[in-house]
Amino acid sequence: MQQLDIFDDSRDVALRNDLARALLDGDPLAARRIADTLQAEFGADPVLAPAAALIEHQHWRQSLAAEGRLDVTAILDARHRLDGLVAASAVAVFGAHEALAWLAGQWRWLAGQATGIGWHPAHAEAHAAALYLRGQAWPQATEAVVRIDSWRRIPAPLLWMTQARWCGDGADAAWPLLAEAFWLTPARAAALLPALSDTCLDRLVARFEERFDPAAASGADWAWLPAFALVDQPLLAGPLSPATPPTQTAPGNAFTVVMALLRLERQGRHHEIVAHRARLQALSTTLFAAYMDTR
Is the pLDDT score of 19 beyond 80?
yes
Per residue, what are the HEC states of 30-50?
A: HHHHHHHHHHHHCCCCCCHHH
Higher pLDDT, residue 295 or 142: 142
For the entire predicted model, the pTM comes to: 0.90
What is the C-alpha to C-alpha distance for residues 172 and 165, in angstroms, rounded to an integer? Answer: 9
Backbone φ and ψ of 269, nearest 5°: -90, 80
> Three-class SS of residue 244?
coil
Res. 4 pLDDT band, cuts 50 70 90: very low
Each residue of 226-253: pLDDT tens digit?
A: 999 999 999 999 999 999 999 999 999 9
pLDDT for res 169: 97
pLDDT for res 212: 94
Nearest to 157 by CA among 181, 186, 134, 183: 181
Res. 84 pLDDT band, cuts 50 70 90: very high
